[in-house]
Amino acid sequence: MIRRKLSLAAALVTATALTLTACSGGDAPAADLTSVSIMAPFLEAQPPGADGAVQKKLEELTGKQVKINWAPNASYEDKTNITLAGSDLPQVMVIQSKSPGFVKNAQAGAFWDLTDKLDKYPNLKTTFPDIQKNASVNGKVYGVFRGRSPMRSAVMFRQDWLDKLGLQPPKTVEDLYKVAKAFTEQDPDGNGQNDTYGITIPKWGALGTNSPYDLIEEWYGAGNRWTERDGKLVPSFETDEFLEADRFIKKMVDEKLINPDFATFDSTKWNEPFFNGKGGIIVDVDSRVSVLVNLFKQADPNNFQNKVGFVGNLEGPDGKLHAHPTDGYSGFLAVPKASVRTEAELDKVLDFLNTMNSKDVAILLNNGIEGVNFKAEDGKAATIKPETPEGKAVTTDIKSYAQLGMNVAGNEFYPVKQPSDYEQQVFDKRTEVMAEDLKSAVYNPAAPFVSETYVAKGAQLDNIVADARIRYLAGQIDEQGLKDAIKLWDTSGGNKVKEEINKLWQDSK
Amino acid sequence: MAAPVIDTLAGERAGKTPPAPRKGGRFSVHFAHYKWLYLLLLPGVVYFAVFRYGPMYGVSIAFKDYVPFLGVNGSPWVGFRNFQDFFANPDFPRLLGNTLILAFLNLGVAFPLTIIMALLLNEVRLSILKRTVQTLVYIPHFLSWTIVASLSFLLFALDIGPLFQFLNNTMGTSIDFLSDPAWFRPLIVLQEIWKNTGWGTIIFLAALATVDQDQYEAAIIDGAGRFRRVWHITLPAIRSTIIVMLILAIGQMLNTGFEQIYLMTNALNREVADVFDTYVYFVGITQGAYSYSTAVGLFKSLVGIVLIFGTNWLAKRFNQSGLF
């Protein structure tokens, strides 16, 4: 099936490519850029319409007709690969990760190399060169990265349960175990039944995706994907701390402190056990704290305070805090050479991106339209109440438009003013805790490096270890089985990956 | 695919085989004589040329290192490297094994069940009951695999699924159907049976309708019971249909149903769940390894062709009319 579709696509590509080249003969100077096409993901149920207020304002601010091709986030990776194989490429593409498909195309010259270009544009010149390096392919910058706050890991728990059992918020991984055990065994909801468990973990197995497993492993000191041992970079899963951490998680699985269906539990239902009083702890990004608070608020607007408690990263058994940061970016906006053919055209597209990254547009994309859905109050964006239909439409639309924000010099838009004092307190505490944890962040030293073998078969390789980890936790294989899987990673190509990464690392020093 | 074959057979039975064209000169006469039939044939030929044969040009990327930016023609040739990589891959024996086991399970369980179901339906004398049952068993065919998978998840979910609870209460066993590798294949076959058995009976019921009723009457007079009649009259009468359907089923056998398997796969059962189709999707579409996955898909097609010719040869050896 798939192969057939692909080959059909391939056949069509060449057919259209021939027509295209026929049309674009001659070296006429680039016509003035009147419209820009962008491909971007959306995370909501529906993409924004093409005639919304945000769209109009965006075209007004940039002075261009902006054609956005929204693709659902869940299948965005597929869509990216298929678009790259097609003929109708947009002028700007949001690339979500340095996936093998992207890297291969980039190395073949499908995207403009922007390494020496971005600094010429005031709004594209980053104030975080390390993050720009992380987003590069071995030092070559192929896009304007979409900045994300690097520290987001948190542990959230039912504060009411904690209070009822007279416990303290966890500080170390050992505390996490104690709280989870108490939540499981001491009837925290007081209904006299043994119907609660500690931690909820959804189906989320892949390595290095900031999953709860990744977080706990990093807290144990296994590093962030890669870590330096004896002057060499090794993958985190080849450290003793990784095994130690997984032993710890397995202990919790075995004692039923974690939901037994963790290998199949649908991640879109992650909040439900927490809200319904089944599972009392979630290990995820701190923004989920506010989502959870909001859930309780919707159910009972008068009595939602003190339901959700949270702390940041936890100390490992060595008594040190190894906080887990992301790579600081969520993909980047790249410019394909197939749709932007000359340097002059590239210049115009980058100029457009420069405008997109201005303060005005950043506010539009993230806060909305002042006077319609928000007003600025002491440096914060407060939602206008009561919400008008127009305001609501803008608020909905910007959830998708925010995907176009780059913020390479930090967030220039307003932080959102929370609707109540309690929520504002939670928000401020989040900011504070994350800023504090950032000081102890352990970054991925191999983030900028892309090894050739990894491009060829990295994802299959990683799957060996990722699946083994879940199977070990579920009791399908023992620790020896997990170690064997890690060895298999080595012998199936992992050794080459290590060699290449270390070489790139040495060369970059 | 099925329809033209049946038509051919019907044509042969009716003795309407047209005279074969002999040599160049005779062909134009022949063609002029049958021009309307050829015109009827044209859409089918165009369909196959455009949608089946045309795309085969893309198969060439199995022998290239295809990079979309460079295009099919611009990508460098690499000979059989993709195939070598695949055969040397530790995944290969597992994929081949999983695909074949699932395929034979589906064929070995679901195919006979279809015939049995058709025979049972054929024996129902009450017309209204027969029609009602027939309609009811067709319905699952029209549900997508996504719905079937969601239903399975609801029924078998750990701790909360009704079937899980039922088994837990009555037998005290708590089986995690959805992630236990031992239960993966039974679940897949069960789903396949639930969804497609009813639909598959259509052709057999049509064949059963053509069986000569006089033979039954004669058999009844001779004192043959129901099972005797089924065994000695019904089954031999639809034997050629069964053989043709079997060959067709074997041709489709390796298409293990991408959606169904993809939806039921998770980290705990991937060991037994990975088949060629899901693997091609995983490495081809999500990882962008187009050439490699095309090679895998091409290999799958080769195995499929070997199976079809093998069965056809076997059918002929046992004095049955084969498909070709």
Per-residue pLDDT of chain B (324 residues; tens, 9 = 90+): 344 444 444 444 444 555 555 555 677 888 888 889 999 999 999 999 999 898 888 889 999 988 877 878 888 899 998 899 888 887 889 999 999 999 899 889 989 999 999 999 988 889 899 999 999 999 999 999 999 999 998 888 877 788 888 888 888 777 888 888 899 999 999 999 999 999 999 999 999 988 888 988 899 999 888 889 889 999 998 988 898 888 888 888 888 788 999 999 888 888 899 898 898 888 877 777 888 889 998 998 888 888 888 888 888 887 666 667
Residue A376 gets which letter from DSSP?
E
CB burial readout B272-296, b (16+ within 10 A) else e = bbbbbbbbbbbbbbbbbbbbbbbbb
Measured distance CA(B77)–CA(B63) in Å, rounded:
6
| pTM listed for this prediction | 0.80
Q: Give yes or no for B150 touching A (CB within 8 A).
A: no
Longest dimension (CA), chain A: 81
- Kindly list the residues from chain B whose CB atom is less than 8 angstroms away from the CB atom of residue A492: 89-90
pLDDT at A314: 97
Give A9's pLDDT tier (boundaries 50, 70, 90). Answer: very low
The A residues from 76 to 95 touching B (CB cutoff 8 Å) are 77-78, 81-82, 84-86
Residues, chain A:
509
Find the CB nearest B267 among A14, A459, A471. Answer: A471
- Kindly list the residues from chain A whose CB atom is less than 8 angstroms away from the CB atom of residue B294: 3, 6-7
Peptide bond into A386 cis (omega under 30): yes
What distances in angstroms separate CA B239 from CA B115, B208, B242, one per listed residue? 11, 10, 5
Measured distance CA(B243)–CA(B321) in Å, rounded:
8
Residue type, A68: I
What is the phi/psi pair of residue A146, to 5°?
-95, 105
A454 close to A461: Cβ distance less than 8 angstroms: yes
What distances in angstroms separate CA A242 from CA A204, A220, B53, B183, one per listed residue? 17, 7, 52, 30
Question: What CATH number does the domain containing B151 carry?
Answer: 1.10.3720.10
Do A3 and B255 count as a contact with CB atoms less than 8 A apart? Answer: no
Alpha helices, H only, A402-494: 421-438, 452-473, 479-489
Question: Which token pair is A424?
Answer: 């504002």
Q: Give yes or no for A11 touching B (CB within 8 A).
A: yes
Q: Residue B162: exposed, middle, or buried by beta-carbon count in 10 A (0-12, 13-18, 19+)?
A: exposed
The angle formed by the CA atoms of residues A34, A37 and A41, to the nearest 5 degrees, is: 150
Euclidean distance between the first and final Cα of chain B, in Å?
Answer: 14
The B residues from 208 to 247 touching A (CB cutoff 8 Å) are none
Closest chain A residue to B279, measured at CA: A460
Measured distance CA(A481)–CA(B155) in Å, rounded:
32
- Kindly list the residues from chain A whose CB atom is less than 8 angstroms away from the CB atom of residue B76: none
Question: Which token pair is A463?
Answer: 């799957």
pLDDT at B19: 54
Q: Give yes or no for A102 touching B (CB within 8 A).
A: yes
Measured distance CA(B132)–CA(A83) in Å, rounded:
48
pLDDT of A21 higher than 50? no
Rounded to the nearest angstrom, the minimum Cα separation between A492 and chain B is: 8
A103 close to A455: Cβ distance less than 8 angstroms: yes
pLDDT of A481 higher than 60? yes
Question: Which residues does residue A235 pair with via DSSP β-bridges, in sequence order?
Answer: A226
A15 close to B54: Cβ distance less than 8 angstroms: no
Average pLDDT (A13-18) is 41
Measured distance CA(A242)–CA(A322) in Å, rounded:
13
Do A11 and B281 count as a contact with CB atoms less than 8 A apart? Answer: no
Compute chain B's Rg from CA coordinates.
24
- Kindly list the residues from chain B whose CB atom is less than 8 angstroms away from the CB atom of residue A1: 255, 258, 277
pLDDT at A19: 39
pLDDT of A278 higher than 90? yes
Residue among B174, B109, B184 at smallest CA distance from B152: B184
The string of DSSP codes covering B175-194 is --TTT-HHHHHHHHHHHHHH
Longest dimension (CA), chain B: 80
In a domain, B232, yes or no: yes
In a domain, B172, yes or no: yes
Q: Give yes or no for B258 touching A (CB within 8 A).
A: yes
Torsion of CA B153, A78, A98, A499, to 10 degrees: 70
Average pLDDT (A478-491) is 95
Q: For helices B239-252 and B181-209, what crossing angle results, to 10°?
A: 140
Q: Give yes or no for A439 touching B (CB within 8 A).
A: no
Do B61 and A10 count as a contact with CB atoms less than 8 A apart? Answer: yes
- Kindly list the residues from chain B whose CB atom is less than 8 angstroms away from the CB atom of residue A279: none
pLDDT of A24 higher than 50? no
Average pLDDT (A319-329) is 94
Measured distance CA(B162)–CA(B145) in Å, rounded:
20
Question: Which residues does residue A92 pair with via DSSP β-bridges, in sequence order?
Answer: A38
In a domain, B1, yes or no: no
HEC assignment per residue over A129-198: HHHHHHCCECCECCEEEEECCCECEEEEEEHHHHHHCCCCCCCEHHHHHHHHHHHHHCCCCCCCCCCCEE
Q: Give yes or no for A96 touching B (CB within 8 A).
A: no
- Kindly list the residues from chain A whose CB atom is less than 8 angstroms away from the CB atom of residue B291: none
Residue A439 gets which letter from DSSP?
T
Residue B108 gets which letter from DSSP?
I
Q: Give yes or no for A488 touching B (CB within 8 A).
A: yes
Measured distance CA(A272)–CA(A279) in Å, rounded:
9
Q: Which domain holds residue B228?
A: 90-317
Q: Give yes or no for B36 touching A (CB within 8 A).
A: no
Q: Give yes or no for B281 touching A (CB within 8 A).
A: yes
Measured distance CA(A501)–CA(A410) in Å, rounded:
29
Find the CB nearest B281 among A2, A10, A105. Answer: A2
CB burial readout A212-234, b (16+ within 10 A) else e = bbbbbbbbbbbbbbbbeeeeebb
Measured distance CA(A238)–CA(A482) in Å, rounded:
11
In a domain, B16, yes or no: no
Residues, chain B:
324
Residue among A480, A485, A476 at smallest CA distance from A254: A476
Q: Does an H or E element contain A11, and which?
A: helix A2-23
In a domain, B6, yes or no: no
Give A18's pLDDT tier (boundaries 50, 70, 90). Answer: very low
Higher pLDDT, B65 or A40: A40
pLDDT at A29: 46
Rounded to the nearest angstrom, the minimum Cα separation between A333 and chain B is: 18
Phi-psi category of A434—alpha, beta or left, where left has phi over 0 and alpha has psi -120 to 50? alpha
Interface with chain A: mutation pick from B285, B291, B293, B294, highest number of A CBs within 10 Å: B285
What is the phi/psi pair of residue A140, to 5°?
-90, 125
Do B68 and A109 count as a contact with CB atoms less than 8 A apart? Answer: no
Rounded to the nearest angstrom, the minimum Cα separation between B59 and chain A is: 6
ipTM of predicted assembly, 2 dp: 0.71
Q: Which domains does chain A have, with CATH numbers?
A: 31-148+328-411 (3.40.190.10), 153-324+441-508 (3.40.190.10)
- Kindly list the residues from chain B whose CB atom is less than 8 angstroms away from the CB atom of residue A488: 90
Rounded to the nearest angstrom, the minimum Cα separation between B322 and chain A is: 27
Residue A286: CA count within 13 A, CB half-sphere: 26
pLDDT of A381 higher than 50? yes
Overall number of domains in chain B: 1
Q: Give yes or no for A277 touching B (CB within 8 A).
A: no
Q: Does an H or E element contain A246, and which?
A: helix A240-254
pLDDT of A22 higher than 60? no
- Kindly list the residues from chain A whose CB atom is less than 8 angstroms away from the CB atom of residue B282: 459-460
The B residues from 151 to 210 touching A (CB cutoff 8 Å) are 153, 157-159, 176, 178-179, 181
In a domain, B259, yes or no: yes
Find the CB nearest B68 among A4, A85, A460. Answer: A85
Question: Which token pair is B156?
Answer: 């078998």
Do B267 and A467 count as a contact with CB atoms less than 8 A apart? Answer: yes
Q: Give yes or no for B266 touching A (CB within 8 A).
A: yes
Closest chain A residue to B259, measured at CA: A1
In a domain, B72, yes or no: no
Residue among B92, B127, B145, B134 at smallest CA distance from B276: B92
Rounded to the nearest angstrom, the minimum Cα separation between B68 and chain A is: 5
In a domain, B85, yes or no: no
Listed range (A18-32, A215-229, A322-336, A411-425) with the worst mean pLDDT: A18-32
Measured distance CA(A293)–CA(A309) in Å, rounded:
9
Residue B61 gets which letter from DSSP?
G
